[in-house]
Structure 1
Amino acid sequence: MDCYLDPGEAGFAAFKALPRDQPIHMLNLLRFRDRAEYPADHPNAEKGWTGRQAYAEYGRTSGPIFQRVGGRIVWRGAFQVMVIGPEDRQWDDGFVAEYPTSAAFLEMITDAEYRKAVVNRTAAVIDSRLIRFNPGKGSGNGF
C-alpha cells in the first residue's frame, strides 16, 4: 500500500499552474499513526503522543497562520465506511478547508512559523490525501 504525506513534484507544479486568484477548497483525508513519530531531537518526541494528539498540536500551532491567510474549515466528518474505493483505505479524519485564493494557501505553507508547525503533521500522519477543488463549480440541486 502506497502512503502519501507530502505533495509530489508533479502534483505541486500542477497546483501552482492553476489560477491563484480564485477561492479553493482543499479536501483533506487523514490516517493517523498509532504513535506519533517525531525526530529524536524534537521537543515533542518524548511525550508519547498518539498520531491524533500530534495532529491536534499541528492544528493548535498552524491554526493562527491558517486563519491569518483567510482559511476556514467548511466541513469536517468522521470516516465510517468505504462504499466505493479500495477497501484497504481507511481514513481517521476528513475535512474541507476553504482558502480565499490559492495564493493564500501558498502563503501559509511558505510561512516560517507554519514550517515549524508542520513537523507535528508529519509526526502524526501515516497516510493522507490533499485534493484541490474549485468551490464555484458543480453547485446546485442536481448531479
Structure 2
Amino acid sequence: MSTDHVDPSREAFDLFKSLPRDEPIQMLNLIRYREKASYPVDHDNAGKDWSGADAYREYGRTSGPVLQRVGGQIIWRGKPQVTLTGPAEERWDAGFIAEYPSAAAFFAMITDEEYQRAVINRTAAVADSRLIRFDPRGGGAGFA
C-alpha cells in the first residue's frame, strides 16, 4: 500500500467540507516532487521532459491568477532543510502557507475551470504532499 499522498481522500475531503465555509483559513502545504513529471500522454507538457519541480513551477504560474482572483495569497514560503521531529524518510522539497479569506474562496478556486486545467501540472509534479487546514484566528502569540 502506498504511503504517498497527492490528492485528498474522500473521507478527508468530506470532513473538510463539513467545516465552516465563511471563516478565513490557512493551508499548510508540504511538497515532495517527482524526479520526472508524469503527465498524461496526450497533455501538451508530456513531451517536455520536465522535472517535478518544473511541473510545479508551471502549476504555480497557471494557478496563481485563480488564487489571486478568489482573494487568496501565499503568505509564507520556505525550503525544508531537515526534519527534527517525524519520520526521517519523510522529506520535503517545498513548503508554503496559502491564505484564503474563507473556505468558500478555496472551494471557488478548486472548482474554477482555469484551475482545473492548471492542477494537472500539480498532479504531474507531486510524488507526496501534505495539505493541512488551519484556523488563523485561534492562535495568539503563545504556544497554547
Provide TM-score, normalisation by structure 1.
Answer: 0.97
What corresponds to 1:118 in structure 2?
Answer: 119
Distance of 1:131 and 1:142 partners within structure 2? 19
State the Cα deviation string for residues 115-139 of structure 1 (Å, max 9, x = none): 1100000000000000000001121
Distance 2:50 2:35 in 1: 9
1:24 match: 25
AA partner of residue 59 (structure 1): G
Q: Identify the residue that residue 140 of structure 1 maps to in structure 2.
A: 141
Partners in 2 of 1:98 and 1:48 — Cα distance?
Answer: 32
Render the CA deviation track for 1:34-87: whole Å, top value 9, x for unaligned. Answer: 110001110000111110010000011111000000000111110111100001
| Distance (whole Å) between structure 2 residues aligned to residue 101 and residue 45 of structure 1 | 35
Matched residue, 2:45: 44
Report the AA paired with residue 76 of structure 2.
W
Alpha-carbon separation, structure 1, partners of 2:115 and 2:70: 12
Task: Detail structure 1 runs of 4+ shifted over 6 Å in the superposition.
Answer: none
The TM-score normalised by the length of structure 2 is: 0.97
What is the Cα deviation at residue 111 of structure 1? 0.6
Structure 2: state its 5+ residue gaps.
none
Does residue 74 of structure 2 align to residue 64 of structure 1? no
Structure-1 residue corresponding to 2:128 = 127
Q: In 2, Cα distance between the equivalents of 1:114 and 1:67?
A: 12
**2:93 paired residue number:** 92
- Determine the C-alpha separation between the residues in 2 that align with 1:98 and 1:2: 27
User: What fraction of aligned residue pairs are identical, expressed as a percent?
Assistant: 59
Letter in 2 for 1:132: R
Distance 2:76 2:64 in 1: 16
Matched, 1:80 2:81: yes
Structure 1 unaligned runs (5+)?
A: none
Shift of 1:140: 1.1
Aligned to 1:102: 103
2:83 and 2:132 mapped to 1: Cα distance? 17
